[in-house]
Amino acid sequence: MSNTLTKADIVDTIHERMDMNRAEIKDHVEALLDIMKQAIKSDHSLLISGFGKFEAYDKDARKGRNPQTNETITLPPRKVVVFRLSRKFRGEINDQRE
């Protein structure tokens, strides 16, 4: 079973640490996520110092194969978002000090 942190978990954690009502916190979290989404859509990157960088890039159309029929198909071009950890956060995860 996975221990995935959800948006609701984030809201609950902030609610425990701050003197704000849950609905207000949820609105702030939603606003932050909207800002992040728009930054990635328009600028194709989002840098959060000490955490990491989200980058969007275009993948070209490519040939693929339907595994059930072995039919060759062309997969359309698409955008892909990748996340790269900051050096500082990577060190924290790996329990190293820089």
3-class secondary structure, 6: coil
Q: What is the CATH number of the domain that holds 48?
A: 4.10.520.10
On whether both 92 and 74 belong to a single domain, the answer is yes
Q: How far is CA 61 from the centre of its chain?
A: 24
- Are 60 and 74 members of one domain? yes
Query: What pLDDT, on the 0 to 100 scale, is given for residue 97?
Result: 53
48 in the same domain as 87? yes
Does 55 lie in the same domain as 8? no
What's the pTM value of the predicted model, to 2 decimals? 0.75
Q: Does the pLDDT of residue 1 top 70, yes or no?
A: no
Q: Which helix (H) or strand (E) holds 14?
A: helix 7-17
User: pLDDT class for 96, splitting at 50, 70, 90?
Assistant: low
The residues that bridge with 41 in the sheet, in sequence order, are: none
Residues 38, 82: one domain?
no
Range of the domain at 96: 44-98
